């Protein structure tokens, strides 16, 4: 692997984001993370920490500009790990969620990652052809299962919409060597992990996806300790 290979993690939380950053750094990547608490400088781990507001898709290009300015190269791997949901004011009424909150969550779950994917494809044009190029969206089972719980509405809408454009992107760009994955951790029976997600399992699987190992499809369902497992 070239020493200059860069990973950009959009949505660098304390569980999945932190584990993924540590894994890629240990694999020799230069790491940039973006979150609401970003500082605009390198942190104690040596990662470039950037401030980002995923409710505002128009700010995403600036994150890519900052990565290029710092490392003098574009990210070969981009991981979108931000997510949001809004509890309905009336817990029994799905459609009581204000449209402003619905729109804000849709920006975080769908529009900002879409803009990030646009920026990624443009950035990849400047990288050597033999560099493996990978976009990973941290998904869940909601793109396939409608959960009749009002709390899950905006998250489910966003994950479902993003799964579609991720799948189309992988199909239409794979001839150029660009891979797009909707990564979804499951339990051993194929059910949702819910809040029991494993950061290290994500890290190991994402590193495999970044190397394009195993001919894994865009709908990349995986199980801790096993890697890719086909459920649908």
Task: Quick: pLDDT tens for 104-163.
Answer: 999 999 999 999 999 999 999 999 999 999 999 999 999 999 999 999 999 999 999 999
Q: Of the residues 42, 51, 159, 176, which is catalytic?
A: 159
Q: Is residue 181 part of a domain?
A: yes
Domain span at 190: 6-228
Q: Is residue 98 part of a domain?
A: yes
How many domains does the structure of the chain reveal?
1
Domain at 21, CATH number:
3.40.50.720
Res. 1: pLDDT tops 90:
no
Q: Is residue 168 part of a domain?
A: yes
| Tens digit of each residue's pLDDT (9 = 90 or more) over 33-48 | 999 988 888 898 899 9
Would you call 56 a catalytic residue per the annotation?
Answer: no
Global confidence as pTM: 0.96
Q: Is residue 219 part of a domain?
A: yes
**DSSP output for 68-125:** HHHHSS--SEEEE--------SSTT-GGGS-HHHHHHHHIIIIIHHHHHHHHHHHHHT
Q: Is residue 1 part of a domain?
A: no
């Amino acid at each position: 692997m070239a020493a200059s290979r860069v990973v950009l993690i959009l949505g660098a939380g304390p569980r999945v984001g932190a584990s993924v950053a540590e894994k890629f750094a240990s694999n020799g990547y230069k790491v940039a993370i973006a979150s609401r608490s970003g500082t605009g400088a390198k942190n104690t781990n040596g990662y470039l920490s950037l401030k980002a507001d995923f409710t505002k898709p128009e700010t995403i290009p600036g994150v890519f500009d900052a990565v290029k300015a710092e490392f003098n190269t574009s990210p070969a791997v981009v991981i979108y790990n931000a997510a949001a949901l809004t509890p309905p004011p009336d817990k029994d009424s799905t459609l009581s969620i204000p449209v402003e909150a619905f729109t804000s969550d849709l920006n975080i779950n769908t529009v900002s990652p879409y803009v990030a994917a646009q920026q990624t494809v443009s950035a990849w044009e400047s990288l050597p052809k033999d560099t493996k190029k990978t976009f990973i969206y941290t998904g869940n089972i909601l793109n396939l299962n409608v959960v009749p719980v009002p709390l899950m509405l905006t998250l489910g809408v966003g994950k479902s919409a993003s799964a579609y454009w991720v799948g189309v992107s992988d199909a239409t760009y794979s001839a150029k060597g660009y891979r797009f994955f909707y990564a979804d951790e499951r339990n051993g029976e194929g059910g949702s992990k819910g809040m029991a997600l494993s950061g290290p399992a994500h890290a190991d699987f994402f590193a495999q996806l970044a190397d394009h190992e195993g001919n894994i499809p865009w709908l990349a369902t995986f199980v801790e300790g096993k890697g890719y497992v086909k459920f649908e």
